[in-house]
A = this chain, B = another copy of it.
């Protein structure tokens, strides 16, 4: 079933720019060397239906995660990897050293294995690491009052040039449940948030290709897409394209959850070509190294895996250090036991050895590694509920308390940290998760999988979970891990990845609107205005998925003429409410009187006039 791995050819990498869009780059002020990529969508003019007069519509700038792949001026060659935009920033800080060789034993073993030459990424860079005694984490700099280029980058990026946008409506005030979202994100605000642990900028010094991105409840809600091969399916080439593809549709982060063969080499290809931070669950690879026997895992094997992956450039590690021995029996009466892969591996280890896991007992040593590369913790919720019945139980919340304790230890080391959350939770029990997490973990960013709000819709779990994701994002979760339609059933293909990403992108955006994130409503307004004015192309182009929108429209009305038609296939010309509504408005405009006046004076006369002229309004 499994195809033989080969090096990617790069033939399948998606590089088409989005329609009517161009890449723009905004320069830094504190750090003039930075260029923050955004996507600018050009719009058509609005045509007055009476006078024919055209009024231009300002382009709309949107957050862009697609990296250089959608910039036709950038050459893409998967064998070289993408531009290393952060490399000089990192070197300029003077606190890292370039190593002559990799520090991980396993990594060197793979490099020596000539049978792997045909599938290896050939332009390996020298690994970087903090000089002895140095801490290269963004949190460390932030605590020292340093605004790094990464911090200014995310500040500019978060604002999306909204200050320059001509707003189309007064945005609704949000309900933010105690978040502190400023009108303008300044670099200093970013620094403060990172310093106090309320935000994370995943930025391994060995992944300078990644465009800086911030996670925190006072920032735009982000999404993560999981990719990765397994023992049963998929190739390196497919996985690289899946990463590029996920970024194209809006993934802010990628987790490589590969568990099959050649995961070391696959990861190298992915990282070198990824414009977004990459996360992994190192215990998966460690388990491969002991042939899948959890009880044979050791601290030494795990430690070598952390270093192996840190030197490749993984930006954050999911580490299930909160699965304590005493919590495992709490899951015995559950309907679905332990559903986290990492959690179940560690639970098995704990039971087999009848002691606390090496993740827990060696936590401070892990911190030492993390800060040498600026790898962030994604503290895994190994005991998250796997069904509605098991939600918010003793095991889950006991682990969360432990994650809170570990957060404080990580912060003591200035290691950036965020916390993973459920899972499967009915709607009315979601907020308790957010509240407990904020309290237990001192506002460290929360990163949840869904949660799924019912168990009865396999095949549609992107939706059962999109509901929970939007809600928990509103309540304060910083990042939402996507779920695809294949959840519980199979591995996602490219189309599933696209659907999963768009579903989570819309959920994250719904959360931004509800939190009242400044400027979040601007794209909604621009799209709705286009819809009302029958600017079909603009409506498609402003959509999260312009291709899908256009394709659905064309299924019923494929003619090009239909895209300037003042109706759609839903209602046909006579029944189009937008059309009638516009006639109502045009009528008022034509009369050059405001609507109140129209009501107050000359009613009968106006009525007659409308009958004569109003029916002639059709274009």
Chain A residues engaging chain B, CB cutoff 8 angstroms = 168-169, 171-172, 174-175, 230-233, 259-260, 284, 287-288, 292-295, 325-326, 328-329, 331-332, 335-341, 343-345, 347-348, 351-355, 386-389, 391, 424, 426-429, 453-460, 462-464, 466-467, 470-471, 474, 485-491, 493, 502-503, 505-507, 509-511, 513-516, 521, 523-525, 527-529, 531-532, 539-540, 542-545, 548-549, 551-553, 555-557, 568-578, 580-585, 587-588, 594-596, 598-599, 603-604, 606-607, 610-611, 614-615
Q: Which of B339, B568, B607 contacts A577 (CB 8 A)?
A: B339
Interchain nearest-CB distance for A431 vs B (Å): 10
- A347 engages B490 (CB within 8 Å): no
Q: Which of B169, B259, B338, B581 contacts A572 (CB 8 A)?
A: B259
26 A-B residue pairs with Cβ-Cβ distance under 8 Å, sorted by A, are A172-B391, A172-B429, A231-B572, A231-B575, A232-B572, A294-B580, A326-B599, A336-B578, A339-B581, A341-B576, A351-B598, A354-B599, A354-B606, A387-B532, A389-B525, A428-B514, A428-B516, A454-B506, A454-B509, A458-B552, A460-B506, A460-B545, A467-B470, A467-B471, A489-B570, A493-B555
Interchain nearest-CB distance for A175 vs B (Å): 4
Residues of the B chain whose Cβ atoms lie less than 8 Å from the Cβ of A329: 588, 594-596, 598-599
Expressed in whole angstroms, the Cα–Cα distance for A599 and B293 within the complex equals: 21
Known: A502-B460, A580-B347. A467 touches B507 (CB 8 A): yes
Residues of the B chain whose Cβ atoms lie less than 8 Å from the Cβ of A424: 528
Q: Which of B456, B490, B544 contacts A456 (CB 8 A)?
A: B544
Residues of the B chain whose Cβ atoms lie less than 8 Å from the Cβ of A572: 230-232, 259-260
Known: A232-B557, A428-B514. A574 touches B287 (CB 8 A): yes
Q: Which of B453, B488, B569, B595 contacts A332 (CB 8 A)?
A: B595
- B513 engages A175 (CB within 8 Å): no
- B168 engages A584 (CB within 8 Å): no
Residues of the B chain whose Cβ atoms lie less than 8 Å from the Cβ of A540: 458
Interchain nearest-CB distance for A547 vs B (Å): 9
Beyond A427-B514, A456-B542, 4 additional contacts (C-beta under 8 Å) are A329-B595, A455-B525, A456-B523, A488-B539
Interchain nearest-CB distance for A538 vs B (Å): 11
Interchain nearest-CB distance for A336 vs B (Å): 4
Of all chain B residues, which has the CB nearest A177? B428
Of listed A453, A573, A603, residue having the most chain B CB within 10 A: A453
Of all chain B residues, which has the CB nearest A504? B463
- B456 engages A509 (CB within 8 Å): yes
Of listed A489, A507, A516, A614, residue having the most chain B CB within 10 A: A489
Residues of the B chain whose Cβ atoms lie less than 8 Å from the Cβ of A230: 569-572, 575
Interchain nearest-CB distance for A583 vs B (Å): 7
Known: A455-B527, A584-B328, A615-B295. A388 touches B521 (CB 8 A): yes
Residues of the B chain whose Cβ atoms lie less than 8 Å from the Cβ of A293: 615
Q: Which of B351, B511, B588, B596 contacts A584 (CB 8 A)?
A: B351
Expressed in whole angstroms, the Cα–Cα distance for A511 and B427 within the complex equals: 7
Total copies of this chain within the assembly = 2
Of all chain B residues, which has the CB nearest A431? B175
The SS class assigned to the A binding surface is: helix
- A344 engages B169 (CB within 8 Å): no
Of listed A331, A457, A576, residue having the most chain B CB within 10 A: A457
Interchain nearest-CB distance for A521 vs B (Å): 6
Of listed A284, A467, A470, A568, residue having the most chain B CB within 10 A: A467
Expressed in whole angstroms, the Cα–Cα distance for A528 and B423 within the complex equals: 13
- B614 engages A295 (CB within 8 Å): yes
Residues of the B chain whose Cβ atoms lie less than 8 Å from the Cβ of A233: 556, 569
- B336 engages A553 (CB within 8 Å): no
Residues of the B chain whose Cβ atoms lie less than 8 Å from the Cβ of A510: 426-427, 453-454, 464, 467
Interchain nearest-CB distance for A450 vs B (Å): 11
Expressed in whole angstroms, the Cα–Cα distance for A489 and B329 within the complex equals: 52
Interchain nearest-CB distance for A256 vs B (Å): 14
Residues of the B chain whose Cβ atoms lie less than 8 Å from the Cβ of A459: 543, 545, 548-549, 551-552
- B581 engages A453 (CB within 8 Å): no
Residues of the B chain whose Cβ atoms lie less than 8 Å from the Cβ of A354: 599, 603-604, 606-607
The 7 closest A-B pairs by CB, nearest first: A329-B595, A337-B581, A231-B572, A387-B528, A292-B574, A490-B556, A459-B548
Residues of the B chain whose Cβ atoms lie less than 8 Å from the Cβ of A614: 295, 348, 351-352
Q: Which of B325, B326, B454, B582 contacts A524 (CB 8 A)?
A: B454
- B607 engages A344 (CB within 8 Å): no
Residues of the B chain whose Cβ atoms lie less than 8 Å from the Cβ of A543: 456-459
- A489 engages B549 (CB within 8 Å): yes
Interchain nearest-CB distance for A136 vs B (Å): 32
Residues of the B chain whose Cβ atoms lie less than 8 Å from the Cβ of A471: 427, 467, 471
- A581 engages B502 (CB within 8 Å): no
Interchain nearest-CB distance for A317 vs B (Å): 17
Expressed in whole angstroms, the Cα–Cα distance for A345 and B470 within the complex equals: 35
Residues of the B chain whose Cβ atoms lie less than 8 Å from the Cβ of A556: 232-233, 486, 489-491
- A387 engages B581 (CB within 8 Å): no
Of all chain B residues, which has the CB nearest A328? B584
Expressed in whole angstroms, the Cα–Cα distance for A568 and B172 within the complex equals: 45
Residues of the B chain whose Cβ atoms lie less than 8 Å from the Cβ of A231: 572-575
Expressed in whole angstroms, the Cα–Cα distance for A466 and B284 within the complex equals: 35
Expressed in whole angstroms, the Cα–Cα distance for A388 and B522 within the complex equals: 10
Of all chain B residues, which has the CB nearest A466? B463
Expressed in whole angstroms, the Cα–Cα distance for A391 and B548 within the complex equals: 26
- A458 engages B232 (CB within 8 Å): no
Residues of the B chain whose Cβ atoms lie less than 8 Å from the Cβ of A486: 552, 555-556, 570
